[in-house]
Structure 1
Amino acid sequence: MVKASERKDFMARLAAAHPDPESELNWTTPYELLVAVVLSAQATDKGVNIATAKLFPVANTPEAIVKLGVEGLTPYVKTIGLYRNKAKNVVALSEMLLEKYGGEVPDDFDALTSLPGVGRKTANVVLNVAFRRPTMPVDTHVFRVANRTKFAPGKTPDEVEALLLKRVPAEFALHAHHYLLLHGRYCCKARSPECELCPVADYCSAPEKKARLKDLVPSA
């Protein structure tokens, strides 16, 4: 367990490893970000960026997406997992944005989660990245790092999110989820964590760390 007295240093080390982090999804407007995040569920940011690089020059507003319709949108997103359902959700949320919000992406959690295909994590990402709110989206990387290090252990993403909101020092709150996400994506990996390079390794007592470091010790 990372002690209360250690939390500031823990986050400061992750922040130093990834100063001024940004979303790795490509976007220029809150609407583009919303679409990209919806498409990114169970898909890679790289794969989504390849798809949106072709889609957004053609349609990057609710009006344009609705005009495309599901049939017209599908060819642009068919390389992404679960693309059929995602195409339906993107068109449906675009229709709702036009009907209820004047075509603008709302900066309100409840309004965002009322949109088709938009869950808690997606809403939190949009609020954090587009509207600079100190939210704590919990994806698989954040969930893994929070549990492995016991900085904010929980059985569900919601439990982890609640603990992160309580435990992350205020000065790190805006970028905290990116610090954790990027650490999980590039260092504290699921299968082969690079514990020897980890800036917070001394705070971690995960079995994976012990096994990794043991394997790196040269045999006599």
Structure 2
Amino acid sequence: MGDRVELTRRGFVLAMGGVALGGCSTSLEMPDLGLDTTTTGSIRPKISVDKGITDPDLMYASVQEGPFSLPAIPYAKVPREFQRQIVPDPTGEAPGTIVVKLAEHHLYVVQEGGDALRYGVGIGKAGFEWSGRAVVQYKKQWPVWTPPSEMIARKPELEKWRSGQPGGPDNPLGARALYLFKDGNDTGYRIHGSPEWWSIGQNMSSGCIRMINQDVIDLYNRVPPKSTVVVA
């Protein structure tokens, strides 16, 4: 990675398989191997050990961006399986690929070295599910939401937003949106944030993949346009 980091005595003991350094009581200044003992214990890329994945108080803290404020997420009410974390990659896809496993309500970003970043997601309700491969054509911060005509027909109260609801904390697309295209055509589906954090892990959307706002900001910062998306 090229970065010089420090190894604590505890990290060195872990690296040596738990062998104690007999009689030593002082800290050792040595290079940090970057071990993450909370998952598989292998040496990870730097992206996999930052505090944005390991400290829920930081992951789900309140956010202030210009005029927009996001409240802190009461993560104790979010099942642990749907909180952002590092896991062994179960997908077999190439590093950088986004994989959504619908049955699990999980989104994975495949990493080098056999791991993945995993986020909880909400998915389409019955009749709105979809699957397949696509690409992130582009991304937007605080996107405008424009309900399709068929949605307005089902919910006439949305007529006021026919020309688009401005971005903001109450916008259904949340703080970020990734726009999914297939063969150069807009699928109409998005990976996006949601103010309804309690809906993560459920089938409630009109086909889009929804995330906790703090999670979709993290995802937005990690994946570039043209990234491959697999929904299965």
TM-score interval for Structure 1 and Structure 2 normalised by the shorter chain: under 0.3
TM-score (norm 2): 0.24
TM-score (norm 1): 0.25
The structure having more radius of gyration, on CA atoms, is 2
Q: Which has the higher contact order (CA 8 A, sep 6+)?
A: 1
Higher helix share: 1
Higher strand share: 2
